Amino acid sequence: MIDLLSDDFDPAARLSAFTASVDGAGAIASFVGLVRDQSADARVRRLRLDYHPTLTRASIEAAAQAAARRWGLRDILVLHRVGDVQAGAPIVLAATAADHRRAAFEACDHLMDYLKTQAPFWKLEITDQGERWIEPRAQDYKDAARWRA
Amino acid sequence: MIDLLSDDFDPAARLSAFTASVDGAGAIASFVGLVRDQSADARVRRLRLDYHPTLTRASIEAAAQAAARRWGLRDILVLHRVGDVQAGAPIVLAATAADHRRAAFEACDHLMDYLKTQAPFWKLEITDQGERWIEPRAQDYKDAARWRA
Amino acid sequence: MATLTFFGKLADVMGRERSLALPQAVSTAGALKDYLCAQDSVFAEVSAQSALRIAVNDVLADDAVAIRDEDEIAFMPPFSGG
Amino acid sequence: MATLTFFGKLADVMGRERSLALPQAVSTAGALKDYLCAQDSVFAEVSAQSALRIAVNDVLADDAVAIRDEDEIAFMPPFSGG
């Protein structure tokens, strides 16, 4: 299941429902990303997530389907906030269910690298020093490049 | 927090409490292992987890502390069942909290490899065809060897 | 009229959406990008900072993709989610 | 008397715990393992299948570690958790 959420969500509750829905899987890997309250030089109040009305969801769905095939996953959950996300709040939950742990881990790791650099989102960081649009770090692109088949 | 549990537990509730307790982390990776109901050639009813009364917990605590230093983690949660675990039930939850996602992912992945091959547990698989003690697969040892510094 | 949409920091400077009657010479996504750079120094500045991605009718496209009036063309700075 | 403890499949065949007055010649963990192999064919069989780990007084030890009466010596098949 892929969803873009305009409001805060509870990652544990969503992960619990996901786990219950995946019958027979031996391994569930997950990642929760939270808005950090510190950037390099300022106190972060919130992020504002811009997205494309159709392309963002379609891109994530295509990436999730490709990952499901590549790693033989039983199921995938990706929830991503859009709009304003306060410091400390969850911005993303990615979870993968597989028969064995390596497939679950690698697919989840891959999906997060994908979301960081290849999914149509744009992050505005709103701090006590002003606002700035965030672009991926060089390391993020390097991480994403690990998965080229 | 490291704990060995004699009874079933709710990974989502424990993960939720862990997430709430880790203030300021940007990334939480987690892994839930469940008892699969199928082994190679039989229907699994349950696993029985044997452990050492002191060494098991002490070993996991040492591994968790080493991982915390190596990846600069904010916190670690490892919950591992002992005793009888029914098919479909959670056997292990490992979670790591870090500033950034790569540290959280790698440390969690590493801890699971550690638990598979280097923590003093012994797994008896109880199936409709009888019982057998499980030893790690060659792949499990290979996975664990990835982390040698 | 083509519909141009802008995202991320481009939306800050260009607004979310504009209508444009495509000039005769502007027949590809890349040509439209060059046209906007020539027309608008702020667009040109953002475009110079980092490679823009383009989608035509909700499909990612490269600069060579043909465009025409009625199309919706999205201009997008580097993606940054997660 | 030394306390010997057994885990995993070793506990199935040896029981969880035994007391043993260490023979004079048995002064290291490895010597104790050899002694048990000689005394007990089932222990020898499990030991032959896969390298046993030993802990002396709750600390992982190699075969060369000295042991004496009063020690608790744990014999452990390959670990398998997670």
**CA dist., res. B30 & res. A115, Å (int):** 18
CB B6 within 8 A of CB B82: yes
CA distance C15 to A132: 17
Look at residue C3 in the predicted model and tell me its pLDDT. Answer: 98
Task: With an 8 Å CB cutoff and a minimum of 3 pairs, decide whether chains C and A touch.
Answer: yes
Cα gap C53→C65, rounded to integer Å: 12
B52, B61, B132, best to mutate vs chain D, most D CBs in 10 Å: B52
Comparing CB atoms, the residue among B50, B58, B115 nearest residue D82 is B115
How confident is the model at residue B39, as a pLDDT? Answer: 86
Alpha-carbon dihedral angle through residues D38, D39, D42, D46, given to the nearest 10 degrees = -50
Measured distance CA(D54)–CA(D76) in Å, rounded = 6
| Residue among B33, B54, B135 minimizing CB distance to D80 | B135
The answer to whether the CB atoms of A26 and B10 lie below 8 A apart is: no
Q: Is A89 on the interface with B (CB under 8 A)?
A: no
The residue-averaged pLDDT of B35-40 equals 89
A63-74 pLDDT tens trace: 999 999 999 999
Encoded tokens for C52: 């823009």
pLDDT of residue B149 exceeding 80, the answer is no
Q: Does the structure show a pLDDT above 90 at A41? A: no
Give the alpha-carbon dihedral of B51, B55, B57, B59, to 10 degrees: -120
Residue D50 Cα, gap to closest chain B Cα (Å): 9
How far is B77 from chain A, CA to nearest CA, in Å? 14
Give the residue on D whose Cα is nearest the Cα of B111: D82
Q: How far apart are CA B106 and CA D8, in angstroms?
A: 30
Question: Degrees (nearest 5) of the Cα angle C63, C66, C68?
Answer: 125
Chain A residues whose CB is inside 8 A of the C42 CB are: none
* A129 secondary structure, DSSP code: T
Interface contact C7-A133, CB threshold 8 A: no
Q: Are B97 and B28 in contact, with CB atoms under 8 Å apart?
A: yes
> pLDDT tens, position by position, for chain D (82 residues)?
999 999 999 999 999 999 999 999 999 999 999 999 999 999 999 999 888 999 999 999 999 999 999 999 999 999 999 8
Q: How many CB atoms lie within 10 A of CB C66?
A: 11
User: Cα(A70)–Cα(A28) distance, rounded to whole angstroms?
Assistant: 16
Structure tokens at B117: 């091959």
Residue C60 tokens read as: 């990612």
Residue C61's Cβ-count burial label (10 Å; 0-12, 13-18, 19+) is: buried
Which chain B residue lies closest to A26 (C-alpha atoms)? B34
Tokens matching residue D10: 């070793």
Euclidean distance between CA atoms A143 and A106, whole angstroms:
12
Q: What is the mean pLDDT of residues B45-66?
A: 97
Query: Does A50 score more than 90 pLDDT?
Result: yes
Task: Determine contact, residues A105/A29, Cβ cutoff 8 Å.
Answer: yes
Distances (CA, A) of C63 to A131, C28, C55, D57: 31, 7, 10, 71
pLDDT at D38: 96
Q: What ipTM was predicted for this assembly?
A: 0.92
- What are the structure tokens assigned to B118, written together? 């280097």
Residues in B touching D80 (Cβ below 8 Å)? 116-117, 121-123, 133-136
Instruction: Provide the CA D28 distance to its chain's centre, in angstroms.
Output: 11
Per-residue pLDDT at B34? 96
3-state secondary structure of A116: helix
Whether A25 sits inside 8 A of B15 (CB atoms) is no
Using H for helix, E for strand and C for coil, what is the string for chain C? CEEEEECCHHHHHHCCEEEECCCCCCCEHHHHHHHHHHHCHHHHHHHHHCCCEEEECCEEECCCCECCCCCEEEEECCCCCC
Which residues in chain C come in under a pLDDT of 50?
none
Report CA dihedral (A96, A99, A105, A111) to the nearest 10 degrees: -40
Quote the minimal CA–CA distance from C59 to chain A in Å: 7
For residue A101, the surrounding DSSP H or E stretch is helix A101-117
Distance between CA atoms of B111 and B67, rounded to whole angstroms? 8
Average pLDDT over residues B43-48: 96
Q: Do D58 and B123 touch (CB under 8 A)?
A: no
Query: Residues 31 to 50 of A: which have CB under 8 A from any B CB?
Result: 31-38
Read off the pLDDT of residues A73-101 as tens digits, 9 standing for 90 and up.
999 999 999 999 999 999 999 999 999 99
For residue B113, CA distances in Å to B60, B145, C54 come to: 12, 9, 42
Q: What pLDDT, on a 0 to 100 scale, did the predictor assign at position B135?
A: 87
Chains D and B make contact, 3+ CB pairs within 8 Å = yes
Q: Check A26 against B35: CB less than 8 A apart.
A: yes
Distance CA B50, CA B48 (A): 6
Chain A adjacent subunits, 3+ CB pairs under 8 A: B, C
Q: What is the tens place of the pLDDT at every residue in A96-130?
A: 999 999 999 999 999 999 999 999 999 999 999 99
Query: Model confidence at A24, in pLDDT bands (50, 70, 90)?
Result: confident
pLDDT at A21 over 80: yes
Q: Which of A26, A88, A109 is opposite residue B105, by nearest beta carbon?
A: A109
Q: Which residues pair with B94 in a beta bridge?
A: B31, B78
| Cβ atoms of A78 and A111 closer than 8 Å | yes
User: What pLDDT is attached to residue B23?
Assistant: 81
In this predicted model, what pLDDT tens digit does every residue of B72-125 receive, in sequence order? 999 999 999 999 999 999 999 999 999 999 999 999 999 999 999 999 999 999
Residue that wins the pLDDT comparison between A25 and B126: B126
Query: Which one, of B90, B110, B116, B114, lies nearest residue B98 by Cα?
Result: B110
Q: Which residues of C touch A134 (CB under 8 A)?
A: 80
Please report residues of C whose CB lies closer than 8 A to that of A34.
none
